[in-house]
Structure 1
Amino acid sequence: MRIGILTGGGDCPGLNAVIRGIVRSSGEGYEIYGVLNGWKGMLSKDVMKLDNEDVEGIHILGGTILGTARVNPFKREEDRMLLEKNFKELGFDALIAIGGDDTLSVAAKLSSLGYPVVGVPKTIDNDVSNTDYTFGFHTAVNVGADAIDRLHSTAKSHQRVMIVELMGREAGWITIEAGLAAGAHLILIPEFPMTINEIVTYVNRRMKKNRYMIIAVAEGFKPTELEEVVADKSTIDAFGHIRLGGVAHYLAEIIEQKTGYETRSVVLGHLLRGGTPTAFDRILGTRYGVEAMNLVKKRDFGRMVALKGNEIISIPLEYGVATKKLVPFEYYKLAQIFFD
């Protein structure tokens, strides 16, 4: 049986652990081929054979040995036809697609056309629905919390407001958990907009009493008065996403102007998704990879592996991309206890 693996979208700590889990659990009678650079590799038939030696020790590495790209083969009809043609010519009896909403939405469409596909959820944003956690999220939170920890001392020494921008387009999971863990004094996430005046009120209250402040903000947060803050309105990826970024800098200028307090911004950006995965993400990625291979062996296609409690289960692929998993109000209320 000939199995293809691809990794799509943004790179993420734990991807290599998934690849290793698939290859090592495949066993006799299975040939594993890595598709290079995600769906782009399916359009160019760019593949490499993988065996146990190729995946030795890769679970401790960040990124993905297969490469990745943001390519949507369903955007153009000719690409969709080429995707189907190449799937058959590559002789794949199954394809395991590892990615977030965009990658999995392509996998779900391919599955609906009758192709044998299994999905593995991947995003540091932790916003794939119907799974408790996605690998990479834990690493991103640790990196974010460590960065905020380090900023406390400089903010306090200089009596500054420090605004830390973290990843999170529509969901604020990284920001709220890193902010909570590191004791941010205000957490701003896309799910719960706030006016500039409300933010300024928090700043004035905190600074009068404590003389320094840390604000954690998700890149997708937008003050109630604005549509969105973007890095580049002209740059739109294959799935229609505008490049976000700059909300921390925008808020820093406004806060300093309105309060008179010296304010600085720090953008963590891709630092959150790079480097060595935590032990949690290595184990979760490994478990996902092994279960994905089990689904292939059972020929249980059109499904996505997921974490429920401590159990790895599978759900229909379309359930994973049906909605975004957003931070609930009750969780945000917990964070609000520590706003001061």
Structure 2
Amino acid sequence: MNKIGVLTSGGDSPGMNAAIRAVVRKAIFHDIEVYGVYGGFAGLINGNIKRLGLGSVGDIIHRGGTMLQSARCAEFKTKEGQMKGIEQMREHGIEGLVVIGGDGSYRGAKALTELGFPCVGVPGTIDNDIPGTEFTIGFDTALNTVIDAIDKIRDTASSHERTFIIEVMGRDAGDIALWAGLAGGAETILIPEENYEMDDIADKLHRGNERGKKHSIIVVAEGVCSGVEFARKLKEAANIDTRISVLGHMQRGGSPTAADRVLASRLGARAVELLLDGQGGRAVGIERNRLVDYDIIEAIEEKKHVLDLDLYKLSQELSI
């Protein structure tokens, strides 16, 4: 393999640039040409492809977002769109592709793999919801962003003796809410993977008030409901007034943490190694601090991201 490509797709996550840098420099170290695909799968279809050198990825390891930009592309969900992308890569002599992103990105890589074009998936999403890896690129940074917000909101909650509802990202996975809620000392954490009883939450808040506790933090993953909706339900059920903070896209931004930079560098470099070994149709991950790889088709079709419910149980025990 003499030429490979790299693209980022779906929602951006801090550390994607570090992964791009690792792909480019690892490949060049092995005398392989690298081509960046700008604008995700849409850029692949449109041929927005440029050769990258060492200088192309200089001074990006500390930056959030993705230098290759990202976009969603309905056309790439069709076989015709996928074949257009393959033809563009063939015109540039690209023989393998590293795809950095989340579930939708992996499905794009899977489609190319099934059409005979070798791809390797690298997990880049703040939601931490990709099967086959304990952590995804961007999760640690987003987590620390949320914890910082919780700490600051708690200062205000304490000063004004209020209950605050903090809505965080996590449409299908509650990792951000769970980890940030536990680390931030939240009294209640709501995640998509577990049901909740409003009466139990109300009772906990009332018990806290009775023992002199004047403020509380409730962390809600967006996949459960919006912060506004939950505030309304809590008011109806327990006549408790709240204030709401929706953190939104600030969770995706910012300079990646050291943990995300190191993880991205390791995973990006490993993706190149797999392509050089002729192993397309794979995805990389990390388990127990060891790099792993697995069949990308099997991962999407058969595996499922599993939340650490022991952490959820612990959060309930510590927030009595």
TM-score bracket for the superposition, by shorter chain length: over 0.9
Equivalent in the alignment of 2:209: 207
Write the distance in 2 (CA, Å) between the matches of 1:304 and 1:77: 21
67-76 or 170-179, which deviates more = 67-76
Map 1:77-226 to 2 at 5 A.
77-209=79-211, 210-221=213-224
Name the amino acid aligned to 1:20.
Answer: R
Write the distance in 1 (CA, Å) between the matches of 2:49 and 2:76: 20
Question: 1:292–1:72: structure 2 CA closer, same or farther, 3 Å change rule?
Answer: farther
**Which among 57, 66, 79 is matched to residue 68 of structure 2?**
66
Write the distance in 1 (CA, Å) between the matches of 2:306 and 2:200: 22
Equivalent in the alignment of 1:43: 45
- Structure 1 residue 332 and structure 2 residue 312: aligned? yes
The answer to whether the 8 Å contact 1:292/1:305 transfers is yes
Q: Which of the pair is proportionally richer in helix?
A: 2
The answer to whether the 8 Å contact 2:45/2:76 transfers is no
Shift of 1:141: 0.8
The answer to whether the 8 Å contact 1:130/1:319 transfers is no
The alignment's TM-score, normalised by the length of structure 1, stands at 0.89
Equivalent in the alignment of 1:75: 77
Q: Secondary structure at the match of 2:77?
A: coil
Per-residue CA deviations over 1:230-255 (Å, capped at 9, x if unaligned) read: xxxxxxxxxxxxxxxxx111112232
Write the distance in 1 (CA, Å) between the matches of 2:260 and 2:298: 22
Shift of 1:78: 3.0
Equivalent in the alignment of 2:262: 283
Equivalent in the alignment of 2:297: 318
Question: 1:56–1:74: structure 2 CA closer, same or farther, 3 Å change rule?
Answer: closer
Equivalent in the alignment of 1:244: none
Write the distance in 1 (CA, Å) between the matches of 2:259 and 2:298: 24
Shift of 1:91: 2.0
- Structure 1 residue 296 and structure 2 residue 275: aligned? yes
Question: 1:294–1:77: structure 2 CA closer, same or farther, 3 Å change rule?
Answer: closer
Q: Secondary structure at the match of 2:61?
A: helix
Write the distance in 1 (CA, Å) between the matches of 2:167 and 2:249: 11
Write the distance in 1 (CA, Å) between the matches of 2:228 and 2:277: 51
The answer to whether the 8 Å contact 2:77/2:108 transfers is no
The answer to whether the 8 Å contact 1:73/1:106 transfers is no
The answer to whether the 8 Å contact 2:15/2:138 transfers is yes
The answer to whether the 8 Å contact 1:129/1:319 transfers is no
Name the amino acid aligned to 1:2.
Answer: K
Per-residue CA deviations over 1:196-251 (Å, capped at 9, x if unaligned) read: 33332333223333121100110101xxxxxxx4xxxxxxxxxxxxxxxxx11111
What RMSD over aligned residues (CA atoms) do the two structures have, in Å?
1.6
Write the distance in 2 (CA, Å) between the matches of 1:301 and 1:30: 16
The alignment's TM-score, normalised by the length of structure 2, stands at 0.94
The answer to whether the 8 Å contact 1:172/1:326 transfers is no
Shift of 1:72: 4.3
Write the distance in 1 (CA, Å) between the matches of 2:299 and 2:185: 32
- Structure 1 residue 274 and structure 2 residue 256: aligned? no
Write the distance in 2 (CA, Å) between the matches of 1:294 and 1:212: 52
Q: Secondary structure at the match of 1:217?
A: strand
Per-residue CA deviations over 1:147-181 (Å, capped at 9, x if unaligned) read: 11111111111111100011111111111111111
Size of the aligned set, in residue pairs, is 316
Mind listing any 5+ residue stretches in structure 2 that lack a counterpart? Answer: none
Mind listing any 5+ residue stretches in structure 1 that lack a counterpart? Answer: 222-228, 230-246
Per-residue CA deviations over 1:270-311 (Å, capped at 9, x if unaligned) read: 111101000000000011111111112111111111102121
